[in-house]
Amino acid sequence: MVTLLRELLYGPAKEASWVLNPGDAGLLASLDKLSPEAASAQHDGRSSIAAHVDHLHYGLSLVNRWVRGEENPFADADYSASWTRQVVNEEQWRTLRKKLADEAGAWTNAAGTPREWNPMTLTGAMGSIVHLAYHTGAIRQIDAKARGPRAKD
C-alpha cells in the first residue's frame, strides 16, 4: 500500500513503477504546476481541479481521523460538501495543496505502520488508493499541464 501511495503522490521509484509511467513526478508535483486559474477552470460543467483536490483532502482527512482512533468518522461524512470549492485564489490554492499533501503524507505513514486489518478496514485502505488513482487520472484529463510523461515504446 505504501509503495502505491508514494508512487501516486510523489512518482514511482527508479526500480519499478506500478501505476504511473517512469519519470512521472506524481500528483502533488503535478498540482504545483497549475495556477489558481487553471485549478478553478470548469470545462463542460464538470468539477474543477480545485474541487477534486478538496474532495481528496476531505476523504484522506477522514481516513486519518480513523487512523488516529476515531471510531467511525465516515458515519456522518458529507462528501457533497467536499465538492463545493470550485474556485480558488492564489492563497487558497497554495493552502489546499498543502492540506492535501499533509493528509496524504500522514496516511502514507500510517499505512506503513503495522496494524491488525480486518476485511472492512483493509478494503477501505485499499479503496483509498484506488480513489486517489481515479482522481489523479481525472485531474490529468482536465489539464494537460498536470499530466505525466507518456509511456515509452
**pLDDT tens digits, 39-49:** 999 988 899 99
The mean pLDDT of 122-143, rounded to a whole number, is 95
Q: Please, which pLDDT band fits residue 148 given cuts at 50, 70 and 90?
A: confident
Q: Given the C-alpha cell 476523504, which residue does it identify?
A: 59
- SS3 assignment, position 7: helix
Amino acid at 116: E
Angle at 111 between CA 137 and CA 11, to 5 degrees: 40
pLDDT in tens, 74-121: 999 999 998 999 999 999 999 999 999 999 999 999 999 999 999 999
Lowest mean pLDDT among 32-41, 117-126, 130-139: 117-126
The pTM (predicted TM-score) of the whole model is 0.93
